[in-house]
A = this chain, B = another copy of it.
Amino acid sequence: MIILSGPSGVGKTTLRRRVQKKIDPLSFSISWTTRPPRPGEKPDQDYHFVSPEQFEKQIRREGFLEWARVHNDYYGTPSKPVQTWLRQGRDVLLDIDVQGAGQVKRKMPEAVSIFILPPSREELKRRLARRRTESPQALRLRLRNAEKELADWPRFDYAVINADITDALKSLSAIIQAQRCRVR
């Protein structure tokens, strides 16, 4: 079980898509979210886009491995597919926010957690601003959260700096491949 996390805007989604293509077999857990799709995001491939009602029903059923409310939207990892894959002995990749990563790590201490770091605070701000898919208020909230999330990196098992995507991808692949040789 590999947990990929890091602040908003750091480039997690791009890295995750590339590592999925590079490393086989790797089962990717598709999160549920109540936020609307961003341009380029494919439903049921990047996220399952659901209504707040559907999400809250799943919470009551205890159907999430972790869930969180981030920037006024719900995000969660459904338990069922993950449990099935792990039983089958497959490698599972989670791409989740920093809060969620903490929850999963507490429940499954044997999971390997990787934090994607921006080359600098300033670069992270530039990347978030460039996104332009959100209102100015949403962006401000996201910036403030990103600052808080950044402080969490020392609690992760690995940290990868995403300055150059090719280098970051190499490091990420190495971490995943090394886990396959881990004793116990």
Chain A residues in the interface with B (C-beta under 8 A): 114-115, 153-160, 170-171, 173-175, 177-184
Contacts and interface: CB of A to CB of B under 8 A. Distances in A.
- Quick one: copies of this chain in the complex? 2
Given A171-B181, A177-B178, 20 more contacts: A114-B181, A115-B183, A153-B183, A154-B183, A156-B183, A157-B182, A157-B183, A158-B178, A158-B181, A158-B182, A159-B181, A160-B181, A171-B177, A171-B180, A174-B174, A174-B175, A174-B178, A174-B181, A175-B181, A178-B179
26 contacts: A114-B181, A115-B183, A153-B183, A154-B183, A156-B183, A157-B182, A157-B183, A158-B178, A158-B181, A158-B182, A159-B181, A159-B183, A160-B181, A171-B177, A171-B180, A171-B181, A173-B174, A174-B174, A174-B175, A174-B177, A174-B178, A174-B181, A175-B178, A175-B181, A177-B178, A178-B179
Interface centre among A114, A115, A160, A174 (most CB of B within 10 A): A174
A163 to B, nearest CB: 13
Nearest to A114: B181
A170 B177 CA distance: 9
Nearest to A161: B181
